[in-house]
Chain A
Amino acid sequence: MKHHNKRHNPVLSLPSKRAPITPSAPLSRRQVLRGILGGSAVSISLPVLEGMLNDHGDAYAQGMPIPTRFGLWFWGNGVRPELWVPQGVGRGAEWQLSEELAPLQRHKSKLSALSGYTIKTGTHAHHAGMTGVMTGRPLHQVGVTRDTIVSTFDGPSLDMIAAAQLEGQSPFRSLEFGVTRFTGTDEGTTFQHLSHNGPNNPNPSEYSAQAAFSRLFGGNSNLDDLNARRSVLDAVMGQFSRLKPKLSVNDRRRLDQHFDSIRTLEMRLAAEPSSCAIPDQPGIYPDQSGREQIEAKNTVMSELMALALACDLTRVFSMQFSTCGSGVIIHPAGATDGLHRTCHDEPMSGSPSTQPIVHGATVYTMRQLSIFLDKLNDIPMGAGSLLDHCAIACTTEHTDGRLHRYEDFPFLIAGLGGGRLRGDVHHRGRGDESITKGGLTALRAAGLNIPNFGTEGGYTESSISALEA
């Protein structure tokens, strides 16, 4: 038989070298862990971080601060403004939560509330508010055959602005979860999705607790060969350059966005595997007697997100409690119809004159937000809790779903931004100021260097100093 003298050439397992890390790039937590533990492979059940902190408990040993997470918590159809705006202005005892904000009482010390700001980038019902608060820009209309507007975001939403700066520091660039099952109407991505990378490039929310679980903790066994996966992704990325020159400018942009996603995925695989303790499988939440189990679903999605944040699987997240213009039936508030419809049909009554069911739905929604914040606050981190190290913009697309008004736009920042926010503040603007200042404040509270946010009427370079420590 033939004997081959010539053997297969040894191929380097990593046919590339890392570009040098620029001095300004912050070290990742894993790099820090490796530094502390001498590079030996260790598996640590998280969240157990105190041992790695300095004496003050506000930073890792070696001076690395605990990272701040940026998040969004969104609900659709606005509030009842007459029962939403807090009483009093200032800090601590100088202000009190309104009836609709009352469920957040236990988080008041970590809350920044805004009133007196508005949308300054258009007036179109729902669309202008959604795109205005999330991107600081006017809506981006798609196609011109319908006057019922089909719109999308003209630029990245707040969370994706944060993700652009924080990517590479944790396995997932961002995570998006949704809660109630009404997933939007055919009026463009604005009415369906919260997180956007740009026009018609949404990051759809994960509505299934089980799918979210398996994405975070599933550890698919056939995906364990990270080197093979990376080699394949490298080869796939090579294919983009063959395709791109053949395409239109617009399609190149679409392809670039997909390319970026693959690059992000490839970088995630290059990171060390998660050493997070794996929680139990979540259950499923079918309707009971035709009613959606909203609170149970919100609780489990909140727990999963809190765990993902505690394990540092991501630094950027969004919780879409309900969509823009949502038709969710908030039955615990006595609703028998979709919220959007109720906003338009329920008569004003009582004193102060309000829409009782819409009001009840808002209170209920704030209770759900409070549950989410509980989950973050229950996780100890440093001298405080995970919530202290978050900056979460909590908002909606309207002040008033009945009249589609934008004045006194509802906007809260939950969390202390790692000490960058004073907390327990109600600040009232002049009334005609752009709500984008709130968005910029939240971004900066996450420690991000953002010189300005928004365009046209939404353009701002200044955050709201009254909220900042």
Chain B
Amino acid sequence: MQRLNIIKQRSFNALQILYPIYCRGPLRVVVLLLFFLYSGCSRSTPPSFPGEPGPLAGDQSVIQPMNAGEEASAGEEASAGEEASAGEETIGRPNSATFIPAPATLHRLSSTELLASVYSVFGLSPAVTIEQDTSLHGFVRVANSELTISPLLTEQLETLAWEVADQLRMDEALLSVHFPCPLRLDDTGEWAQPACLRSSILELGLMLWRRPLEVVEVDRLLGLYQLLRGDSTTRSTHYKAVTGIVAALLQSPDFAFRVEVGESTSPERNDDPQQIWRYTNYEMASRLSYLLWGTGPDEELLSAAQAQRLVTDEGLRAEALRLLDDPRAIHRFRGYFEELMGLGYLETVSKNAERFPSFTPSLRASMHNEVMDLFTSVVFDRDADFRELLTSTESSVDQELAELYGVSLPQTLATGERVSVTLPDQYPRGGLLGRAAPLALFSHATVNSPTFRGRFIRSGLLCQDVPPPPEGVVTELEDPVEGEVQTLRQRLERHATDPQCAGCHQLMDPLGYPLERFDPIGRWRELDNGLPIDSSGALDGLSFDGAVELGQAVADSPYFSSCMTKRLYRYAVGHLEGFDEYPLIDQLDERFIAEGAYRFKSLLLSIVMSDGFRLLSPHQPERNEEGQEISIEGCGGVERCDGEDNDCDGEIDEGIIRSCQDRCDATGVQICLDGGWSECDIGDAPPEVCDGEDNDCDGEIDESLQSSAERCDGEDNDCDGEIDEEVTSSLHDVSFEVLSGLHDGCRANQRDQSSCNAAINRYCSSLGCGGSGVGPIESGWQSIVVLCLPESMIRGQQVSYAELSSRHDVCDGQREGVGPNCNAAIHRHCNQTGQGTGFGPRERSQTSAGIACVPEADIISTTYTELSQQHGDCHQGGERIGPSCNAAISRLCAARGYLSGWGPLENSGDIAVIACVY
């Protein structure tokens, strides 16, 4: 009690200023506690502190077990570091002379991080409203380690997820980037291979959840695919089901939260409470990329995580430097500086419309940009001493701001145009503090506020908080005496004389007075209320005059660098720093000054390399009174397949799916129904192959294979023990990977018909039975189906384009070398030479084409009306010739008992002539 009384007499002022010095070690807690007991402001001079260690004792007692940035030695030293004896003053808190890492935390993504993450993975910018971010302790990043996802944001995330899913569904090319699985066609519909889907989910999951998915998680998503697909076998349901997977990935807490759990660096010492925990490689990848880029890790960073490089000094440093060297880092830290300066609030600031008609939204935006540009210049363009922010006279202005600043420009700037200028000497503004944005932000609507301006400097830039006025205090100033003209400063005189006000206001007002030459929107003024302005001020005993000297004084204050270190640390780690992190922050500040020469990027790098960014304290399991871990299952917990409503959501066994093996070891899914499991649904059964086994698991061996036709593929298709005997034509699903290897111009994203014809020809003739082929019969994203004809069925020949163009105009190798006219020309050439019909050119030169006539092909006259039944896009007024008609023709041939076919050989009006082969 005695001590309490003594300390309570101490000046608040002194407490504030001395706090950072002597509040290290055991005293810190006492002093802080007193802070809260002591809410007023007194002006009395602090007495000495009898019986207490001197101000620097705390400093000397700091044990420094870890050099910031040297992770390798962290383990031993931290565990070896003795905690100083806890005196009565510690009030149950651990001594914070030793750095103790913060506990693992769940970090919510901000609205910009959510949208940036979607953009990074999909390249999409869906127009979806996301609720405004909340800022706590100065930063949205910090708030997001404390806030959860509100019901509104939950809805908005759902909308976002489905908007992305929908855009993917509408864009086959983009969808195929993420789900490249070829769809296999059979007469039950179109199927994707489960194994391929599984790998797509793993890859996309890695990007969106920023860690490898576990098998069960993939199984659940595959189960969702089956559920969404249901009985339908159409391509569009497939699209809907895969995009449903995307919607689920995006709505999962693993996407919207950065989940950090950490790992022990010495898992073998599992019971040792002193063991050191660190963030895992993948957690580090996200910590780095969200800090430096505001979005999820790119592939390179994920590779570094996979290679375990992000828990090593060299690996982490290399990646941090790589990310810092990217324009995204500039954008990210402009955002940091915006929050540090509170510039976001500028948007909500209103000024007295009569007095300040020039304070338009565009001027507000320009002020905002000027300050951000100054930051970019000092920190990124020049990598200069960070304190230049407070002293530099460089600026970037547009026309409106130039007028506000009295900068004369050689010519009028176009709207939105900005130029770099040096601010004129006759209106000395100095650096940041004399710029319009903070001046307008920390003023009232009609008059200046030296108090607000000073408080921003004191608490925002020097990290010395000033309490609000106590309850019941009258805060308005007395009316000026009638007829007496006063400056604002003179009216505020009571702040310095009334003891109730002075304790706190003397911390603020003298830092605001030097800015009195700037009005509430930051314009230079010579007079206030018609009177000359007194712009003298003081900071911690140092007197000065005007904005330039103020900026220099703040830049020179040791509290400025320590404050900037503290703020950047807070932002980087994404939580409000705890007492146990102060020793590390102090070391980082020393390093910022001594080794970093006050360069922002060096500070950022040493924070990233420090234990504060890389180590954590594992959370303790919840225990009951007997010390047993409390299970978190039960209501609100996990729904189990037991016929009970375990999570109390009014539904029983909802959404529970597990993977299973059916009796032939195929992987399928089971759905929980009323406490039991459904039959194992393997969906797409594997095909029966000629191997004496029941591959498709229908109880029969090699059934129906004997009726298959032998194809030229080196396999025993008809299961008669002979290979490629009496081969007929055959269909093959060939990937573009293969085709482009055969001819470079035939690629998934560049399907040059001439090149593909050549590639198909080469593919078919390489099968071992010679021959050639035509296609695409069916087109997939990554593969096409081609029709191969054995050598025995074709008559290959070289025909000049002169010959072909005589059969059908236009097919002269110049105007058309491959296409509808040449189809007809080739058909006519074969037909008129008694060789049925044909296709090609298989290969071509400028002057001639290699074609294949097929005497055995049946020439069938059909109609587009009929073809459109087979493929809706092939109709008289539609495609007529192309991939959809190719598919329609092949299907029509198949419907008539043939294997496949091609065409149209000729077409006119609704009539289409096609070729079918067995």
Chain A residues proximal to chain B, CB less than 8 Å: 1-13, 15-19, 123-125, 142-148, 150, 168, 173-174, 176, 181-183, 185-186, 188-189, 192-193, 197, 200-204, 206, 208, 211, 214-215, 220, 222-223, 225, 228-229, 231-249, 251-252, 254-267, 287, 289-292, 327, 329, 331, 336-338, 341, 344-348, 402-405
Contact = CB atoms under 8 A, between A and B. Distances in A.
B482 interface: no
B357 interface: yes
B106 interface: yes
B136 A186 contact: yes
Given A228-B240, A290-B350, A123 B471 contact: yes
Contact of A251 (B32, B105, B129, B576): B105
A403 B681 CA distance: 71
A403 B472 contact: yes
Contacts of B131: 204
Contacts of B154: 258, 261-262, 264-265
25 contacts: A1-B708, A3-B704, A9-B683, A17-B653, A18-B651, A142-B136, A145-B577, A148-B467, A186-B135, A204-B132, A222-B162, A225-B240, A228-B244, A229-B158, A238-B639, A238-B656, A239-B248, A242-B217, A251-B106, A258-B154, A263-B649, A265-B158, A346-B476, A402-B476, A403-B471
Lowest 8 A-B CB distances belong to which pairs? A234-B655, A248-B619, A16-B654, A290-B353, A241-B638, A261-B154, A222-B166, A254-B148
Contacts of B359: 290
Contacts of A123: 471
A402 B474 contact: yes
Contact of B216 (A242, A252, A264, A331): A242
Contacts of B687: 2, 4
A18 B649 CA distance: 9
B79 interface: no
Given A174-B151, A231-B228, A264-B151, 4 more contacts: A204-B132, A232-B161, A258-B154, A290-B351
Contacts of A12: 671, 673
Nearest to A292: B350
A183 B348 contact: yes
Contacts of A261: 149-151, 153-155
Given A19-B650, A200-B148, A147 B731 contact: no
B697 A6 contact: yes
A347 B491 CA distance: 14
B352 interface: yes
A5 B872 CA distance: 27
A16 B651 contact: yes
Contacts of A236: 248, 251-253
Looking at A3, A10, A15, A331, which has the most chain B CB atoms within 10 Å of its CB?
Answer: A15
B150 A202 contact: yes
Contacts of B657: 235, 238
Nearest to B671: A15
Given A2-B688, A232-B247, A262-B154, A290 B357 contact: yes
B476 A345 contact: yes
A246 B479 contact: no
Given A186-B138, A404-B471, A215 B155 contact: yes
A197 B151 CA distance: 9
B83 interface: no
> Which of B154, B231, B360 is the most central at the interface, judged by chain A CB atoms within 10 Å of its CB?
B154
Contacts of B188: 4, 7
Interface string B210-227: 000010110011011011
Nearest to A185: B345
Nearest to A193: B134
Contacts of B163: 222
Interface string B641-668: 0000101011111111100000000000
A6 to B, nearest CB: 4
A15 B673 contact: yes
A331 B342 CA distance: 25
B685 interface: yes
A259 B636 contact: yes
A1 B248 CA distance: 36
B832 interface: no
A10 B148 contact: no
Contacts of A287: 350, 361
A189 B619 contact: no
A235 B224 contact: yes
Contact of B465 (A146, A232, A265, A344): A146
A220 B654 contact: no
Interface in B240-286: 240, 244, 247-248, 251-254, 256-257, 259, 261
Contacts of A18: 650-652
Interface string B166-191: 10000000000000000000111000
Contact of A19 (B158, B166, B253, B645): B645
Given A11-B231, A239-B220, A243-B253, A338 B444 contact: yes
Contact of A202 (B134, B472, B474, B653): B134
B446 A148 contact: no
Contact of B681 (A9, A144, A233): A9
B696 interface: yes
A8 B471 contact: no
A243 to B, nearest CB: 6
A210 to B, nearest CB: 9
Contacts of A142: 136-137, 146, 576
B104 interface: yes
A232 B251 contact: yes
A291 B651 contact: no
